[in-house]
Chain A
Amino acid sequence: MSALLVLAITAPLLGLVPLLLLGPRTGERAALGMLAVNVAITAGIAERVAQGGRALGYVVGGFAPPLGVGLRADGFSAAMMLMAALVLLFTGLFAMTGPGDMTRKVKARGSAGMPATFFILLLSLACALNLAFLAQDLFTLYVALELLTFAAVPLVCLEGKAGQLSAALTYLLFALFGSVLYLLGVVLIYGLYGTLDIAHLAGLMAQGTGGATAGAALALMSAGLMAKAALFPLHLWLPPAHSGAPPAASAVLSAVVIKAPLFLLVRLWSDLAPLPLTQVAGPVFALCGAAAIVFCGVVALAQERLKLLIAYSTAAQIGYLCLMFPLAASDDGPWSALAWTGGTLHLVSHALSKAAMFLAAGLIAETMGHDRLSGLGGVGRVAPVSVAAFGLGGLSLMGLPPSGGFVAKVMLLTSALQQGAWWIATVVLVGGLLAGGYVLRVVVIALQHPDSDAASGRGLPDARECRWRALIALALAFGAMLVGFMPLAPLPFLDIGRPVTWEGLLP
């Protein structure tokens, strides 16, 4: 029983009290403090999982599953939690330190009243994400997903512009549709097995008693998660929502919010579903993933706005995780383990690099006053650190060394080649080329001589990027690079605590 798991969920919530009761300045400081505490808690969990070499568990209220609800941290959830906590803290700092779009207005209007809704949402996100990574009960996970949606949707429309409002509404409707599908799957699972605890269910499902209904339930839950994760073909809500939001909000939305449903998709098919079923479903996911990588990659190439380009790149990059499913489920010893590590590592490195890129894009747009690619010629001169952060983050998307994306993609590629899945290997390579295309296009424009843009009559503004905040973006990009120094072998840490069981964790 590790109390840290409970603290991971409750500590971020405690930060809401000063935000709602005290003035915005005190509230914001308390919120940042809580985000730092959250990093410490998640680091503590990761450290204990690594030290003990096994999962941590907690039974809430003392009622063991299946009647009660349990929390459980294995290597995969610990890694995801730590990554999310870091991104949230850095984004919080980014939103706090400078005259950010959303904090400026609130601060300018005095101290009374609702302080910085942004920080309330950020802390709620921290709680929701930790819960999604820890909960072992399918309905508690539903609550976690809802909490995530309710914290994420208002982030899209903090400035209240018409475009943001309509993007938020579309996002909400997609997310709600996803929740209902997920819940329908949960209902069928309960009807079949009378329990919602993942460890118990895994045992029951392995006996193969559910038949077609069990498959239908998993399919419904997966479809719901796909809608929430914006997986092709349910990705249409993502680009307007992620590109229209203020930069700090875009960063958390693209980097961590969609990672929770993706994480649960992996949980569902690697820990809950019996292997034969995963082998049937795997190719379907891989097809969706391949379509996402190719289609959204091409669309990203054609974008004229920097933030839309990054948003489409998110929709493309989450496809890589789906390529993992057939490779990891093939029961091919080390090669399937390699694919598993590659896919999960990609979740982490994409989060760090995408957060860096959205923050950098926000600073570039702030410096130039717009984010139209055609008018960004020479922006490298006024926003050098931001452009560097964008480029470094881009390395990971392209899959070039040294970067986390490189390691993850090489792992997927190796596994695909070893298993003879040529089409998956091709998609990995094509996706890398497309990412190279859209990232380099931005970098080339940014490094142009500003005079070459003189024909359009737009020179560089006198403004300079906010160095402090650009360094935050750069730090995140370096984080994505650091992930790249992993050995090119299955990572034992990510495998701690699998398969899911309560054995030895309950009092």
Chain B
Amino acid sequence: MSLVFDAVLCLVLLAGALGVVTTGAARPAVIAFIGYGLLLGLAWVRLAAVDVALTEIAIGSGISGVVLLRCVRALPAEPLTPAPNRMLKPLAAVVSITIAAALAAVVLALPEPAPSRAADVAAALPATDLGNPVTGVLLVFRALDTLLEKVVLLLSLVGVWALSRDPACRGRPAPLSPEPAPAPSAFLARVLAPIGVLVGLYLLWAGADHPGGAFQSGAVLAAMGLLLVMGDQIRTPAAESRGLRLLLLAGPFGFLAVGFAGWATAGVFLGYPPGAEKAVIIAVEVAITVSIAVTLGLIVLGPPAGEERP
């Protein structure tokens, strides 16, 4: 029975992906992409990877979808497209099918029994006092990757801000909509945001032992922040605000500080103090969640529009 479900899910997933790449118009393609992302999240659940499923739905489909939809609205309705070469599509189809077939053959040829690090993780996890092995890999065993990925996130915001018309990068982002928010969305923001924030905090709290964690939580919190902005409940912050900068830096550099402290407490960079591992790891998670939420939200809002003139 579950095999039938998986087969149907795979087929729908493929249909969605094909829809995205064959639809000529931008908006339907993006909407198809968001749906495809949700289905992909379902596939991750079926692969027993609930943490990944949450991340895919929150970031891969959710926040990415918002970014892409904003882009569709900002682009001219009919982009100038040169007449495509008639041979292009059949040729591309042949190339893609060949690649897919070759990869399918590779998947079928993967070795049995499959190599795995699960046993290593299981052996090392108890020392960290964490219940969720994925959080253990992200924040303990491969903490360096996670730390640097925070820097990537910060850097992509720097890249977006560098596209501001103001070379000094000041002011607030252009408003999401020129008109004041209609009453329903203000109402929605007031009602939904507190619930969403609770969900986000739960994801953060649960992440140590159950599926969830900083990214999923940060994405939900960012979405709630955007909801409040859209409902005119809060103003978007100015890029030069020192407090905002501190929030952006708290995650990556808090993490880095803990890494350096590891030299004193555990004798090694990115080591955790023996006995207090879990408390420190959760503190790091809180800091990076805050930064992720703020960074994701600001990336969606776009480059600051320059200093306001009174």
In the complex, are there CB atoms of A and B closer than 8 Å? yes
Distance (whole angstroms) from the CB of A17 to the closest CB of chain B: 6
Does residue B187 face the partner (Cβ distance < 8 Å to A)?
no
Contact with A along B149-188 (1 / 0, CB 8 A): 1011011101101110111111000000000000000000
Does residue A195 face the partner (Cβ distance < 8 Å to B)?
yes
> Whose C-beta in chain B lies nearest to the C-beta of A151?
B155
Contact with A along B268-310 (1 / 0, CB 8 A): 1111000000000000000000000000000000000001000
Given contacts A61-B270, A191-B114, contact A154 B144 (CB under 8 A): no
Determine the chain A residues whose CB is within 8 A of the CB of B120 once the complex forms: 66-67
Interface of B is mostly: helix
Does residue B116 face the partner (Cβ distance < 8 Å to A)?
yes
Does residue B205 face the partner (Cβ distance < 8 Å to A)?
no
Q: Is the CB of A213 within 8 A of B110?
A: yes
Distance (whole angstroms) from the CB of B109 to the closest CB of chain A: 6
Q: Is the CB of B124 within 8 A of A194?
A: no
Q: Is the CB of B151 within 8 A of A192?
A: no
Distance (whole angstroms) from the CB of A26 to the closest CB of chain B: 13
> Whose C-beta in chain B lies nearest to the C-beta of A118?
B162
Within 8 A of B (CB), among A69-128: 69, 102, 105-106, 109-110, 112-115, 117, 120-121, 124, 127
Within 8 A of B (CB), among A135-175: 139-140, 143-144, 146-147, 150-151, 153-154, 157-158, 160, 165
Q: Is the CB of A195 within 8 A of B245?
A: no
Does residue B242 face the partner (Cβ distance < 8 Å to A)?
yes
Q: Is the CB of A58 within 8 A of B269?
A: yes
Given contacts A61-B144, A66-B117, A194-B114, contact A114 B271 (CB under 8 A): no
Q: Is the CB of A109 within 8 A of B152?
A: no
Interface residues on A, range: 35 or more
Q: Is the CB of B141 within 8 A of A127?
A: no
Interface of A is mostly: helix
Q: Is the CB of B158 within 8 A of A213?
A: no
Distance (whole angstroms) from the CB of A363 to the closest CB of chain B: 22
Contact with A along B242-253 (1 / 0, CB 8 A): 100110110011
Give 26 A-B contacts (CB < 8 Å), ordered by A residue.
Answer: A1-B268, A10-B256, A10-B259, A16-B154, A16-B249, A21-B249, A60-B268, A61-B268, A66-B117, A69-B144, A109-B167, A112-B240, A114-B161, A114-B240, A120-B158, A121-B155, A124-B158, A131-B148, A140-B145, A143-B145, A147-B151, A188-B106, A190-B115, A191-B115, A194-B115, A211-B109
Instruction: Give the interface of A toward B (CB within 8 A).
Output: 1, 3, 6, 9-10, 13-14, 16-17, 20-21, 24, 58-63, 66-69, 102, 105-106, 109-110, 112-115, 117, 120-121, 124, 127, 131, 139-140, 143-144, 146-147, 150-151, 153-154, 157-158, 160, 165, 184, 188, 190-195, 209, 211-213, 216
* A-B pairs, 3 with minimum CB distance: A194-B115, A114-B169, A113-B170
